């Protein structure tokens, strides 16, 4: 990441001749503009475990009673559960977080997906969690379903390239 940022900063600092002053080769006259492809963020999930949501919803209800702001934000609800008892000391995993649905301020329901990789674990390379949430009448959110899967560091190709349920060895 740092290398890409440094290369971009270096490229931006280079002096550049205006487009009309650059020599053009005849074969480039009709070249189509280059387009950048967005990285694919959707992981391949072969299977997942469905986890219970009763405990989390009880915590959300207690947070609503205590007027804690995180209970009114679907992404914060998912993060509250996912990072309970955060990992090992010094662990700085990479995280991709996505919201699927109307903007949270207007949505009646939606889906939060958290993918974490770079874990300090010798068997698990990455974890995937999907929280399906629904807005309540009081403006807070409840989790209607929580799915979890993991990608292993070693094993068969299907275990190391896709997220799946089960144990990584």
- Is the pTM here over 0.75, yes or no? no
Looking at every residue in the chain, the average pLDDT score rounds to 78
Of all residues in the chain, the percent with pLDDT exceeding 70 is 70
Q: How confident is the model at residue 7 (pLDDT cuts 50, 70, 90)?
A: very low
pLDDT of 9 reads: 36
Biggest distance spanned by C-alpha atoms of the chain: 71
pLDDT of 46 reads: 87
């Amino acid at each position: 990441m740092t290398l890409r940022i440094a290369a971009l900063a270096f490229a931006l600092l280079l002096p550049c001749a205006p487009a009309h002053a650059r020599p053009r080769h005849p074969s480039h006259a009709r070249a189509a503009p280059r387009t950048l492809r967005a990285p694919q963020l959707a992981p391949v999930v072969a299977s997942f475990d469905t986890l219970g949501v009763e405990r989390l919803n009880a915590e959300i209800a207690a947070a609503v009673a205590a007027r804690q702001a995180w209970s009114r934000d679907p992404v914060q609800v998912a993060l509250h559960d996912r990072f309970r008892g955060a990992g090992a000391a010094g662990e700085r995993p990479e995280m991709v977080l996505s919201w699927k649905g109307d903007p949270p301020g207007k949505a009646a329901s939606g889906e939060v997906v958290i993918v974490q990789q770079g874990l300090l674990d010798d068997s698990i390379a990455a974890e995937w969690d999907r929280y399906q949430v629904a807005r309540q009448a009081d403006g807070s959110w409840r989790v209607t379903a929580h799915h979890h899967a993991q990608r292993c560091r070693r094993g068969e190709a299907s275990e190391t390239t896709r997220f799946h349920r089960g144990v990584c060895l």
